[in-house]
Structure 1
Amino acid sequence: MIAVAPSQPPLEPWQAATAPANPTQLARPAFLMNAPFSYAPESTAGADEAPRPRKAFAQFFDLYNFVASEALVTLLPTPSATGLPELVFTANLGVVLEHHANRNTAVISNYTTVSRRAETVIGVDFLRAMGYDTHVPETHFEGEADLKHLHGNVYVGGYGQRSEVDTYDWMERTFDMKVVRLAMTDPGLPHLERTVFPLTKEKTLVCTELYQRAELVELERHTEIIDVSVEDCRAGACGSVRLHNVLLNSSHIHDLRAGTEEYHREVVKNRRIEDIASSVAFEVNYVNLSEYRRGGALLSGMLLHLNRFSYAFQLL
């Protein structure tokens, strides 16, 4: 005899109004990650060492375990025949528009980088299966790595290297949002995530020396700017992720030899982050992601926000 599960009763109106339909609607931080099954740093940044998958997975789990202890972490599957060595960097996959109606709208990337264009279909199919209304712009766009949410319907977007300014014109018309545009001009810092990091709804880390005064004036209309140097940005200061009142940042300082220039640069970057964090009563947690730095990535590149619940409360 086959046991048949009893049918579930329909939700009451009050239940339907509060039951989350996707991770963005959760009253808990939510992120999208991808396990590094297809990660190959030598093909992404010209690394001269052989891939070290065991180390890549160990570092992935260090980050995953910390984030998953406080947040929902959804894993993007890796297709068996991928040839997509950068799929692990999910922040480039798109952006979930938390301000938009029903919080179920996702804009999927139209990659400038040819080797990543197959990721667009993967992102559309996966997020659509999760119940999101997905859109792909006709112009180039590389996701949350180039578009950061400030508050309400206000965002800051980088353009000029990986994303096109026309994309933000389309997004403003289509999704009732405001995008403060910043021109990306430094070839060594191609994505906005390397030079801009929203710390709270009111304060944002910005590498001011890389932007025009008119751009900064427009940005200051929407957020208080905390200046970060180019050197600290190159070391990854803005490549952070906020989880409640903790700033997550990558640091491989324990792999470095004390007294070297790289060691000194990492110490300076870490101290700068810690000073900023203490000013808003935040803590800092470092994760060694040295295997991903070989692919040119920051910690922020490995986490796509499915919501920004950590920003919902003013902690100070």
Structure 2
Amino acid sequence: MKCRKTKIYMLCVILLFSFLLSGCLSSSAAEKNADGTQGESAPVEYRCISNPESKKKIYVILKNYHGAYWKTVIEGVEKAAQEVDAAIYLGGIDNETDISGQIRLMNEAIEQGADGILLAPANSNSLVESCEKAKKKNVSVVLIDSSINSTEFDACYMTDNIDAGKMAAKEMIKLLQDAGNSPTQPLEVGVLLSADTSQAMVNRVSGFLEAWTQYAPSQWDIAKDIFLNGGDIEKAQADAADLLEKNKNIKGFYGCNNTSTIGIAKTLVKEKRTDIVMVGFDMAKETQQFIQDADYQGVSLLQKQDQMGYLGIHSLVSLIKGERLEQKFFDTGVIMVNSYYLMEKGVS
């Protein structure tokens, strides 16, 4: 038991070190691709989605613009845009590793006279300077989905990711038990996430490891390799397949974000691994189909990301008017989605 606690502690330290180290990288390092080559930023340019004649200007900067998760965020933003007197400009990046792209969009928003910015930071350290710059220009900044390693923002709407991670670990243990795994037999759980530079991801893993250490049988462990996919589904799928091939003790997968969960679900179905359970985040069609398939065992923690976008816009309008918010952090909550939940909701 002591050995396992030491191993899990080391995983936490490595993850935290990676998170802190990301803030020390130069901008040129942030622009490099995974293979070490220099990459070009190609952010999704701003488009005005409502009230172009309004004197109030709000810029929305997402971190995986065309991802299924972010389409729901956009729905919340668009709903709020119809209810407020503000010109809403929507933009973002297509890959969570394109930090320089987000920084460029932040600079453009400030230069174009933004009154408020709604930001989903792709990197909790590298976006600090941009947020500080905005605040110095008296631009209101509201964060969604993840926070930054600074207090230079006005509000943040996100899941309490440490609590969500703990919930995921407890559910993982239950699923492994329900699948017939003996507490006296060794097994491992693989962990996939989009990036170790996001505070949300780090907290989901930290919460998971904390609860796992407390509640899991001593013979059950976490795989030493934690895979990063940068928000790319194909990469997540390849990572899951690689882990299955190299580690015969894998009996569970924890997907810390939407793309990781999709990749895991697709891999398990493709390889017909009905012996492996999954706990993930969010709800793409692949995830829904996996949960509804009686041959597989899995759940997903559904975030209320539409509320992040919706409430974030309304908060910015209030801040621009000079109103003060009652608090800085707002937990938008999660819902545990299993086959029974989908059945009760009549989802097909």
Q: What TM-score results when the alignment is normalised by the length of structure 2?
A: 0.28
Which structure: greater helix fraction?
Answer: 2
Q: What TM-score results when the alignment is normalised by the length of structure 1?
A: 0.30
